[in-house]
Structure formats: structure tokens, C-alpha cells
């Protein structure tokens, strides 16, 4: 399974309830199931307009493994 997140130089982005975002660690980041997610696109546009350093979309691979 693949999920997508936004990452900048200073951390991952977490959507804020009032339309902004916070920079957080991976365990708190907002993740999206599709690159075409409207929420992902809006968050990317907001962060890009804020000129967030080294902003990029990252793909996270989730694997299930019995231990």
C-alpha cells in the first residue's frame, strides 16, 4: 500500500483544522491515499505559496509483516 505526504526541509506537513498546516514528525503527518486527493493538492498549494523550503511530495510504502 502506498500513501502520500508533503515534506519540507523542516518536517512533514499536518493539515490544520482552520486551513493552514503545522510542521511535524512523520508519525503526526497528514497522509493521503491518492496523488489526486483534493486535500493534498490544496495543502501543497498553500505551502508552496508560503515558499516552504524544499517542499516535495513523498511516497510512503506500508507493508504488513507478521513477527
Query: Which pLDDT score is estimated for 17?
Result: 86
Give a yes or no: residue 66 inside a domain: no
SS3 (DSSP) at 13: strand
Query: Which pLDDT score is estimated for 18?
Result: 85
Give a yes or no: residue 45 inside a domain: yes
pLDDT tens-digit profile of 32-67? 999 999 999 999 999 999 999 999 999 999 999 999
Query: Which pLDDT score is estimated for 3?
Result: 98
Structural domains in the chain (count): 1
Give a yes or no: residue 18 inside a domain: yes
Which long-range contacts (C-beta less than 8 Å, at least 24 apart) are formed by 37-46?
37/4, 39/15, 40/4, 40/6, 43/6, 43/13, 43/15, 44/6, 46/19, 46/20, 46/21
Q: What does pTM read for this prediction?
A: 0.89
Domain of residue 40: give its range.
2-61
pLDDT tens-digit profile of 2-34? 999 999 999 999 999 888 999 999 999 999 999
Amino acid at each position: 500500500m502506498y500513501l502520500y505526504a508533503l515534506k519540507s526541509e523542516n518536517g512533514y506537513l499536518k493539515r490544520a483544522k482552520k486551513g493552514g498546516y503545522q510542521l511535524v514528525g512523520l508519525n503526526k503527518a497528514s497522509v493521503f491515499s491518492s496523488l489526486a486527493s483534493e486535500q493534498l493538492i490544496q495543502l501543497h498549494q498553500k505551502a508552496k505559496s508560503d515558499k516552504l523550503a524544499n517542499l516535495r511530495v513523498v511516497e510512503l510504502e506500508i507493508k504488513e509483516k507478521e513477527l
